[in-house]
Amino acid sequence: MIDPQTLLANRFADALAAAFGEDHRATDPLIRPAQNPKFGDYQSNVAMSLGKRLGRNPREAAQAIVDHLDVQGIAEVPEIAGPGFLNIKLTNAFLSEQAAALAGDERLGVKRTDQPHSVVVDYLGPNAAKEMHVGHIRSTVIGDCLVRVLDWLGHHVIRQNHIGDWGTQFGMLCEYLVQVGKADEQTIGDLDDFYRKAKQKFDADPDFAGRARKRVVALQSGDEQTLGVWRALIRVSMQHMDALCDRLHITLTPEDVRAESFYNEMLATTADELEQSGVAKLSDGALCVFVPKYEAPLMIRKSDGGFGYDATDMAAIRFRVNELKAVRIVYVTDARQTEHFHKVFHTAQAAGWSKNVRLDFVPFGAILGEDNKPFKTRSGDTVKLADLLDEAEERAGAIVAEKNPDLSADERDVVAKVVGIGAIKYADLSGDRVKDYMFSWSRMLAMEGNTAPYLQYAYARIQSIFRKVEGLGPGAEGKGDVTVAHDAERALVLKVLQLTSVVDAVSEKLQPHHLCTYLYELSTAFSSFYENCPVLKADTPEERASRLVLCDITARTLKLGLELLGIDVLERM
């Protein structure tokens, strides 16, 4: 099956070719869902611009298109309105057919790509020296959604968790652990706690700071004792990270970790190559790439001969192209790194490393508190991710207990987890990622508006219907003929049919919030259907069977959509 927008675009291409010549087959027919039902279901805006280009009256151009357009069996003959809008109304028969077709389609109309790519998605990437905090949720949740969408479309997705496990602060930590005699993973304990203590000592005690710097050298030159301490530290940090990924249902695994230290051995050759090709030049003793528009260069090698993360990122991009065979690389990172990655991308292009490789930078904004300042605890500390998830589950639990006292304690706990974690993730995904967003418990856990609980509730209501169907005996299980008649049925089916174009848009623009908006609109369309169209108590058995199909495709669309966002559904809540 094929989604209406694509189908109409194909028919319009034929009409444009027939009316204006083959050259116009490739003209974008500008088919968009209509913003207002009174203008039909879809509209084409091509006649205005085309009329202009051809020096013809736009309404005449519109008429010429209509004269050559064959939408038999799909839509009514388009109406020409205003300056030359073509308003298209799909027939109820067509919508009914499409709905029935979706009932038998596991993929709900979303086709696998015919051009599968190897796509590297770089996300999460925490600093192994510290505990994960709220800041990490964005890259994690957004990146994982993009991974799920690309994977669902049939691409070969290679996840890369580029954790920070190298550099001066690890020298400091190793030195501190050795000194206090806690250099094995059983006794390391709270990561943030000893990071804070080590930092204090580093700042206050010049002797210690000196030994810490020596530790960096020892670490990077492979000193066994130091490496042992370092490995223990990293293991603790990884365990901490894995536990949080589990709670968040992130698809990253330990195998996806490719830490900064992994690139250590490649840094010198990376730098040499950039120097020999003339892309990088010496400046004040440091090896730099100067990128137009930016004053500060990308620093490939420091004047003391050491390497920083600029070099690591260049080594990583080379590795991803040459070894991982990526043809698209997606970086999901804080917007503050925009300039840095522009420089990295520019340098990769200049060096010829990324020919035919699409480099996507996916920036995201900050999380703000309700005071419009960076989100902190009451005492002003950064919020630990683990604490945040605890609180989400607690708050969700309290709401569940209040709203649905009939649930058993066990069931309530499950609902609390799914709703709480879902709400947090959805809040992070539902806005335009590049903007800062305001964190608000009450808004994200609300049952009204564009929230995870609202979507999960719509799904749970449908499941409730199906539980009752089973109780009523066989033969009514949501497959078979569909007859779309009621306005609410029309609106619901139209929405369901838009899934394909939305998923495609997300994979192209890498903006998960379009999927959220879509699922919210789908849910409101369902709520309206639910109010207006009795399912189990429909007037006739045929109508009942038809509406059960609509429930089925709606529920599966919601489930799939939420799954692509990384959010679970519930059978009851």
Partner RNA sequence: GCGCCCGUAGCUCAGCAGGAUAGAGCAACGGUUUCCUAAACCGUAGGUCGCGUGUUCGAAUCACGCCGGGCGCGCCA
How far is the C-alpha of 163 from the C-alpha of 129, rounded, in Å? 10
Q: Which is nearer to RNA, 87 or 98 (CB)?
A: 87
Out of 505, 507, 543, 563, the residue judged to bind RNA by CB under 7 A: 505
Cβ at position 364, least distance to RNA in Å: 10
Tokens (6 digits) for 448: 């009204």
306 is a contact residue toward RNA (CB under 7 A)? yes
How many other CB atoms sit within 10 Å of the CB of residue 226? 23
How far is the C-alpha of 502 from the C-alpha of 521, rounded, in Å? 12
Q: Residue 368 forms beta bridges with which residues? A: 374, 438
Tokens (6 digits) for 546: 């038809």
Tokens 């999380």 locate to: 367
Cβ at position 281, least distance to RNA in Å: 9
Q: Which is nearer to RNA, 38 or 378 (CB)?
A: 38
43 is a contact residue toward RNA (CB under 7 A)? yes
Tokens (6 digits) for 169: 């602060």
Alpha helices in 2-155 (DSSP H): 4-20, 46-54, 58-68, 92-103, 135-152
Cβ at position 416, least distance to RNA in Å: 9
Cβ at position 402, least distance to RNA in Å: 8
Q: Which is nearer to RNA, 1 or 309 (CB)?
A: 309
> Which residues touch 292 (CB under 8 Å, ≥6 apart)?
346
Q: Which is nearer to RNA, 431 or 478 (CB)?
A: 431
Cβ at position 48, least distance to RNA in Å: 3
Tokens (6 digits) for 272: 């040499």
Q: Which helix (H) or strand (E) holds 44?
A: strand 42-44
Q: Which is nearer to RNA, 349 or 404 (CB)?
A: 404
The interface with RNA within residues 261-300 (CB under 7 A) comprises: 283-286, 288, 293-297, 299
Q: Which is nearer to RNA, 53 or 325 (CB)?
A: 53
The interface with RNA within residues 343-402 (CB under 7 A) comprises: 365-366, 368, 372, 399-400
Q: Which is nearer to RNA, 40 or 143 (CB)?
A: 40
> Which residues touch 405 (CB under 8 Å, ≥6 apart)?
none
38 is a contact residue toward RNA (CB under 7 A)? yes
The interface with RNA within residues 155-174 (CB under 7 A) comprises: 164, 166-169
In the DSSP assignment, the letter for residue 167 is S
Count of residues near RNA by CB under 7 A:
103
Out of 56, 247, 403, 486, the residue judged to bind RNA by CB under 7 A: 403
Q: Which is nearer to RNA, 187 or 283 (CB)?
A: 283
Q: Which is nearer to RNA, 186 or 372 (CB)?
A: 372
How many other CB atoms sit within 10 Å of the CB of residue 546? 24
Angstrom distances, CA of residue 340 to CA of 253, 305, 309, 351, 425: 27, 21, 10, 17, 27
539 is a contact residue toward RNA (CB under 7 A)? no
Q: Which is nearer to RNA, 345 or 457 (CB)?
A: 457
| Strand ranges in 138-222 using DSSP code E only, listed in sequence order | 156-160
Stretch that binds RNA, among 240-248, 266-274, 376-384, 508-516 (CB under 7 A): 508-516
Cβ at position 17, least distance to RNA in Å: 20
The interface with RNA within residues 317-346 (CB under 7 A) comprises: 335-340
Q: Which is nearer to RNA, 113 or 187 (CB)?
A: 113
Tokens (6 digits) for 75: 């839509």
567 is a contact residue toward RNA (CB under 7 A)? no
Cβ at position 130, least distance to RNA in Å: 11
Q: Which helix (H) or strand (E) holds 326?
A: none
> Nearest CA to 110 among 418, 504, 430, 388?
504
Q: Which is nearer to RNA, 106 or 295 (CB)?
A: 295
Q: Are 174 and 224 in contact (CB under 8 A)?
A: no
Backbone angles phi, psi at 422, to 5 degrees: -60, -40
Tokens 């529920």 locate to: 555
Report which residue type is found at 46: V
Out of 19, 27, 33, 39, the residue judged to bind RNA by CB under 7 A: 39
Out of 391, 524, 543, 563, the residue judged to bind RNA by CB under 7 A: 524
Q: Which is nearer to RNA, 79 or 185 (CB)?
A: 79
The interface with RNA within residues 416-455 (CB under 7 A) comprises: 419, 430-432, 434-438, 440, 443, 446-450, 453-454
179 is a contact residue toward RNA (CB under 7 A)? no
How far is the C-alpha of 517 from the C-alpha of 519, rounded, in Å? 6
Q: Which is nearer to RNA, 49 or 118 (CB)?
A: 49
How far is the C-alpha of 289 from the C-alpha of 343, rounded, in Å? 8
Out of 328, 463, 486, 507, the residue judged to bind RNA by CB under 7 A: 463
Report which residue type is found at 529: F
The interface with RNA within residues 99-158 (CB under 7 A) comprises: 127
In the DSSP assignment, the letter for residue 277 is T
Tokens (6 digits) for 423: 């709400």
> Nearest CA to 361 among 332, 394, 327, 401?
332
Cβ at position 524, least distance to RNA in Å: 5
Cβ at position 368, least distance to RNA in Å: 7
Out of 260, 428, 489, 552, the residue judged to bind RNA by CB under 7 A: 260
Q: Which is nearer to RNA, 184 or 192 (CB)?
A: 192
Tokens (6 digits) for 205: 């005690």
Cβ at position 325, least distance to RNA in Å: 26
Out of 70, 196, 464, 542, the residue judged to bind RNA by CB under 7 A: 464
37 is a contact residue toward RNA (CB under 7 A)? no
How far is the C-alpha of 516 from the C-alpha of 493, rounded, in Å? 18
- Can you say whether residue 109 is alpha, beta or left, with left for phi > 0 and alpha for psi between -120 and 50 degrees? left
Backbone angles phi, psi at 163, to 5 degrees: -80, 150
> Nearest CA to 497 among 557, 455, 566?
557
Stretch that binds RNA, among 78-86, 100-108, 221-229, 243-251 (CB under 7 A): 78-86
